[in-house]
Structure 1
Amino acid sequence: MPGVERWRQPMTLPSQICPRTRTVESLANLLAKHGVVLVRGTPASGKSVLAQLLTSLLIQQGMPAVYIRSWNASTDISVAEYLSTECHNVDLKISANGILGSNVVFVIDEAHLTYEVADLWYGFVKQQLDMQSGPQFCLFSAYGSPTRGTTNRQKTPLFIPAHMRVSLLPSYGGPDLGLCLEESEFRNVLERDREKLELDADAQDFVYRITNGHVGMVKAVLSYLKMCHRSYLRVCRTLTLSHVQSAARDRHSFFQALKADVASRSLPLRIDCRLLNPQIRTVFQALLANKSIQFDEDDKAMVTCFTEGWIQLDSGSCTKCDTFECSEKEHSYCTFPSPLHAWYVEYMYAPTYHAPFPINEYPSLVQLYLAVAERFSLKLFDAARRGMRLGPSGSRLPKEASYQDEFYRAYTDLLQFRGGITTEWPCGGGSLDVFITEQKWGIEFLRDDLNGHLKRFRDGGHYYKSTQDGTLRDWLIIDCGISTPRKKYPEEPHLLRCIFNEEHTHYRILDCQNNELVPERNM
């Protein structure tokens, strides 16, 4: 029968496939403990390979496991009959009536195709939640609610508790595993590369950071690097951070390469006419500005974005009870699958991204910063203080990131994306926190190590060459803190101090000599 993988022995892995031993074993243990596990991730996030690795391990352990590549049961047979047929195809002689009394482990890939199969979800999956006996179900889904198998409000929602759900990254209240590669797994992928591409330690860190270990994006970036530096790689196998950053700076070529890769299944491509819908672009813009937004199942554009795999859904905080797990109702939040997905959407679809910067209104970077600061909001800082901010892949954002993130949000509130604004811009041997692409203006935000940041722009520092060759025309170092500084830096005209009160409800701005540019202001 199509859709069934006839495995009697553990599969032999191609040498370039990372076995993900800890992740697979943890998933198997989680399934054995709870009977049901829902694994959700956007397209190209490694679900199918992980499903096959899980099945192979279960068979190796002597478990009766059935891998269903894609659910295609005819409507004229029952779910029990279909599952029985799947068992027979791998020499497991179990009748339809015997499924619920068996100990078969069903690993169902493309499980989002089963969302309308009510008997599977309510007759089998629901019955096995946290059961210690009977069949087990590991469901790999490309979209759907993080807590239930469908967003169709005409059906009774099937709640899947947080401890039985796996997403791109480990989430609050969930198990300690995710679809995205852990750092050790990412490095193992590099070691297993067929063409033996080598990245130095800093280059590895950069690639891992912009992809968050998203399997499809990791492979796509490595392919692009090989293509971009193919001449260099004929004589040298190791790429440095500088090589990787120079390739990433050419956003047009970078994203054209991503669009041609299989990982593009998780990207919104221009050939999809729905992307002409301004409401979809509004969803993208809100996500870029805020990093995460609460999911609204009545918003058709938002539903389209997540069913197409352009955004990820995860459990977020309840604004009323101030927790990630609310006893009354769990809240779902949208995020981009990785920072690289956000970069792509920013470049391709952000409204006015390629519109001219209003240089007559803001002739200097200092004037721009002061205008943007007027739009600072308490909301983001308050969420950061409580540790409740979600970023790409559903990761919890560190408090330190709130300063650059709030500048980005306030900039888009003031100018939308005019002049092109992006974060983590590759520059020299580092990455600028914020970069205005048309003006070639950069901003670094910091909370400590001021002298270390100042040195980056001096002779011998990461950014010095860029300041000399025109790659970086102007820059600011924003020292963010909650106490008034004593030391002055008259020789550092690019330094500003943004001083907040402890609750981040007020701020004032000082220059490099601690003169007040902006008196205390409410947010």
Structure 2
Amino acid sequence: MSLLYYAFRKLLNAGAPDDIPPQPAYIMTGRCKGESMVDGQTVPCFCPKGQYQVVDHRPNLSELRCICGHYFSKHDSSPESTTSAPSALAPTPPRHARSPPRKRLPETFTERSLTVTALWDLIKRRQVVHIRGTPATGKSTLAHLLARHVSILEPELEVYHLCWPESFDYLTKSAPYSYLLNDLAHRSQDCDDWMDIDGLLIIDEAQASYRYSSLWNDLIKFLEPGFGLRVALFSSYGSASALVQEASTLTPLKLNSNQRVSLKRSAEHPDLCLLLSHDEFHDLVYRRCLSYGDSQPFHPSAELIEHLFGMTQGHAAASACVLEILSESKELRPFRKRALPIPLVDAIEFIQTDKFLKAALNYAKFARGLVSEEVLHKMPDLVKFLQTAVSQNFVSGDPAPGTPLELCYRKGWLQAELSSDDYTVYVFASPLHRRCTEFLLPQPSVPFPRSLYPTLKAFSFSVLRMFSSVALNIEAPLSDSAVSRPLEAGYQDEYYRASFELLGNLYLKSEWAGTQQTGWVDFAIPSEKWIVECVRDGDKLKEHIERFQMTGKYRQWISNQEMQEFILLDFRRSIPRKQRGMHFLSLLSLHPPASFLTAHLVHFLSNVGIDWLFHVVFADDFSSYTVYDSDCKAVPGESQIALLR
């Protein structure tokens, strides 16, 4: 035994630096036959294989105690439950450990100094902080930055940066927390001082620890501010309320709102969230611009940068994704060749195409937070559920086991957040996530019910009757990442939601760009070649009207028949005073048809007339609405229509 022990100790410590103490060696045996007390009940011991730390080169087997607390004699004599002698001494290989924090990050990584400082300050005040975010929101990077920050700023503190595994080699979910943490941190299994350690414990992938009740009920529950171990838990999903996770344990642990950090900023933490701040996003763009390109500079304009921030909301992987796609796109290469800032209008023409979306779906890190086409094809119930989520911007409900909501919640396709009235809703991580999900959803198998809605006007008026006064009364509509949106977005969102409720399927496509890169519209029904544009209170109404005219940006869609019917809805709360009825027709005389316009197109434009512009005027309390035409006259049958409640 002593020779074998010496050989393994020598092998285990070969090449180790002199200042690192020798690693422990263990005797491994079979399953434990003892009993343990769990929640006041006697249950079979959780230990599947005996593990005994050897501290003497001639160990007395009768005195060896397993990490489960039972002696050698309580275990089967070998892992195979045979009568053979105990298995040979073997070193314990490193498992699930993270390397020490690097002192430098890649040049393309933003340091997030203010966020990291705010997070560490919060941890010191609250002792335990739970950070939740869907995949690829930058949780692991933030955990790394936190570990590095504390190691440099307060080197006297012990910092344990661990990644919780899906399962342990020899421990079950009923194991005491000290065994679990010692296994991950490569500490001796007889160490039971975690609660008193003056340091920081960082657990990444902490959602995998929810089922290990001892960690939460025996350690985290008893940590008090100002004393002992501090804990930062980074999870890909978790409850938005006080509960750490719905029905996670028999006695669920609750955390205060000031102990929770999520995608969005909150009143408790105005300077702290997972999403990049405006300044952090600008820093990321600057760093990425320095590294991108095949010797060709990549300089997005200030307007384009703001637009990208809006569509990604500062989501780490989404931000990196769009910057990489734009920097490598052939469509924007002329600007790069001449070292010119890339204008917003030129970039948007590419961003609104299917080519851009396909490139985003092929960006591995970003795609981690999206459902796959394979899953959608196998689960029609999930398709219906995600159609609802896309049409409403969010969903609510109980994520009961086996439901589509529970699947989306656990997979990170939707994030649990609290609304302004402290109600749990589930949202997409960013507008880009929502748009990509819409793109992935299969086309409706049933044709559009043209017999019920023969014209776009008839369809739109039917959609208006499905509007909800409750949704329109919300001062700041909820959006992706639970970030408040401008009021005008509420009308567009409600049109999208109401059309889905009316049809029971997603025939509408948002931000449609067609095959010609000439801009995009709010909504389209491609199968019917219908286009819907929405404005609020007449904002830029003249500009929107001109888009549909002979010299407008949508002329190519009209000429190649991608657009056969269109409607412009002006949502407002006061009756318009300016008549616009003859504006469109008068342009034909002011701007004679150009040579590229066919006779068919001239005939089409001449007969469209003025019946595509309507003002939808709501009562002050959104209890009803009246539709007016472009001459400011009430449309027959569309006056004082009560909204749904």
Deviates more, 1:148-157 or 1:183-192: 148-157
SS of residue in 2 equivalent to 1:96? coil
Query: Are the structure 2 counterparts of residues 236 and 96 from structure 1 closer, same or farther at C-alpha, using a change threshold of 3 Å?
Result: farther
Cα separation, partners in 2 of 1:175 and 1:284, compared to 1, 3 Å: same
Which residue of structure 1 lines up, in the alignment, with residue 372 of structure 2?
Answer: 269
CA contact (8 A) 1:104 1:136 kept: yes
Q: Which amino acid aligns with 1:371?
A: S
Out of 391, 399, 410, which is 1:289 matched to? 391
Query: Does residue 159 in structure 1 map to residue 254 in structure 2?
Result: yes
| Matched letter for residue 513 of structure 1 | D
Q: Which residue of 2 aligns with 1:328?
A: none
The CA distance in 2 between the partners of 1:208 and 1:425, in whole Å, is: 20
Q: Does the Cα contact within 8 Å between 2:508 and 2:523 map onto a contact in 1?
A: no
Which of 497, 500, 519 is residue 639 of structure 2 equivalent to? 519
Give 3-state SS (helix, strand or coil) of 1:45's partner: coil
Instruction: Answer whether contact 1:211 1:338 (CA < 8 A) is retained.
Output: yes
Deviation at 1:417, TM superposition (A): 4.2
Task: Specify which of 623, 626, 644 is matched with residue 505 of structure 1.
Answer: 623
Take 2:377 and 2:249, find their aligned partners in 1: how far apart are those partners? 27
**Aligned ranges 1:86-105 → 2 under 5 Å:** 96-105=191-200
Normalised to the residue count of structure 1, the TM-score between the two structures is 0.86
| Range that drifts further, 27-36 or 246-255 | 246-255
Q: Which moved more, 1:260-269 or 1:105-114?
A: 260-269
Q: What is the match of residue 400 of structure 2? A: 298
- Cα pair distance change 1:64/1:418, threshold 3 Å: closer
Letter in 2 for 1:107: I
Aligned residues: 501
Cα 1:440–1:33, aligned 2, differ >3 Å: closer, same or farther?
farther
Tell me, yes or no, if structure 1 residue 21 matches structure 2 residue 113: yes
Q: Does 1:142 align with 2:260?
A: no
* Partner in structure 1 of residue 533 of structure 2: 444
Change (3 A) 1:418 1:136: closer
Which residue of structure 1 aligns with residue 441 of structure 2? 349
- For 1:20-39, what aligned pairs fall within 5 Å after superposition? 20-39=112-131
Shift of 1:86: 5.7
Q: Kindly state the Cα deviation for residue 284 of structure 1 after the two structures are TM-superposed.
A: 0.5
Displacement of 1:2: 2.7
Distance (Å, rounded) in 2 between the aligned partners of 1:186 and 1:298: 36
Give the deviation of 1:390 after TM superposition.
2.6
Task: Tell me, yes or no, if structure 1 residue 55 matches structure 2 residue 155.
Answer: no
Post-superposition CA distance 1:87-123 (Å, at most 9, x none): 677xxx9983322122211111111111111111111
Change in CA separation of 1:367 and 1:460 when aligned onto 2, cut-off 3 Å = closer
For 2:437 and 2:185, locate their aligned partners in 1 and report how far apart those are by CA, in whole Å. Answer: 43
Q: 1:350 to 1:159 in 2, by over 3 A?
A: farther
**Equivalence for 1:108:** 203
Instruction: Quote the offset at 1:278 in angstroms.
Output: 2.1
| 2:510 aligned counterpart, secondary structure | strand
Query: In 2 relative to 1, CA 95–103 (structure 1 residues): closer, same or farther, beyond 3 Å?
Result: farther
- Whichever residue aligns with residue 296 of structure 1, its letter is D
- Could you tell me which of 181, 201, 207 is aligned with 1:83? 181
Evaluate the alpha carbon distance shift between residue 26 and residue 416 of structure 1 in structure 2; reply closer, same or farther with a 3 A threshold: same
Residue 4 of structure 1 is aligned with which of 87, 93, 97? 97
1:381 is aligned to: 472
Are the equivalent residues in 1 in contact too, given 2:160–2:185 (CA < 8 A)? yes
Structure 1: distance between partners of 2:399 and 2:505: 27
Return closer, same or farther for 1:181/1:425 CA change in 2, 3 Å cut-off: farther
Equivalent position of 1:327 in the other structure: none
Q: Could you say what the CA RMSD is over the residues aligned between the two structures, in angstroms?
A: 3.1
Cα distance in 1 for residues equivalent to 2:149 and 2:103: 9
| Pick aligned residue for 1:45 from 134, 137, 144 | 137
Cα deviation for residue 439 of structure 1 reads 4.6
Distance 1:57 1:398, change over 3 A: same
* Correspondence 1:477 to 2:561: no
Question: 2:298 aligned to 197, 219, 223, which one?
Answer: 197
Change (3 A) 1:504 1:425: farther
Q: Distance in 2 between matches of 1:381 and 1:168?
A: 25
**Deviation string, structure 1 residues 233-265 (Cα, Å, up to 9, x no partner):** 662454332342232232255235423522211
Query: Which of the numbers 27, 50, 65 marks the counterpart of 2:159?
Result: 65
Give the stretch that moved more between structures: 413-422 or 339-348. 413-422
Q: Per-residue deviation at 1:355?
A: 5.9
> Is 1:394 the equivalent of 2:466?
no
Structure 2: segments with no counterpart, 5+ residues: 1-93, 585-609
Kindly indicate whether the alpha-carbon contact (under 8 Å) linking 1:38 and 1:165 is maintained by their aligned counterparts in 2.
yes
Residue 30 to residue 59, structure 1, CA distance change in 2 (3 Å): same
Decide whether the 8 Å contact of 1:425 with 1:434 is kept in 2.
no
Q: Give the aligned residue type for 2:524.
A: F
Q: Determine if the alignment matches structure 1 residue 409 to structure 2 residue 409.
A: no
Task: Go from structure 1 to structure 2 and tell me whether the alpha carbon gap of 1:291 and 1:25 turns closer, same or farther (over 3 Å shift).
Answer: same
Relative distance call for 1:475 and 1:172 in structure 2 (3 A) is farther
Q: After alignment, is 181-190 or 416-425 more displaced?
A: 416-425
- Taking structure 1 as reference, are residues 293 and 186 closer, same or farther at Cα in structure 2, changes over 3 Å only? same
Q: 1:20 to 1:439 in 2, by over 3 A?
A: farther
Q: Distance in 1 between matches of 2:613 and 2:408?
A: 41
**Residues 468 and 66 of structure 1: CA distance in aligned 2, closer, same or farther (over 3 Å):** same
Question: Contact 1:480–1:497 (CA<8 Å) still a contact in 2?
Answer: yes
Query: How far apart, CA to CA, are the structure 2 residues paired with 1:351 and 1:311?
Result: 21
Tell which deviates more after alignment, 468-477 or 275-284: 468-477
Could you say what secondary structure the match of 1:346 adopts? Answer: helix
Contact 1:66 1:105 in 2 (8 A): yes
2:97–2:185 Cα contact (<8 Å) kept = no
Structure 1 residue 85: Cα displacement: 6.2
8 Å CA contact 2:140, 2:204 repeated in 1? yes
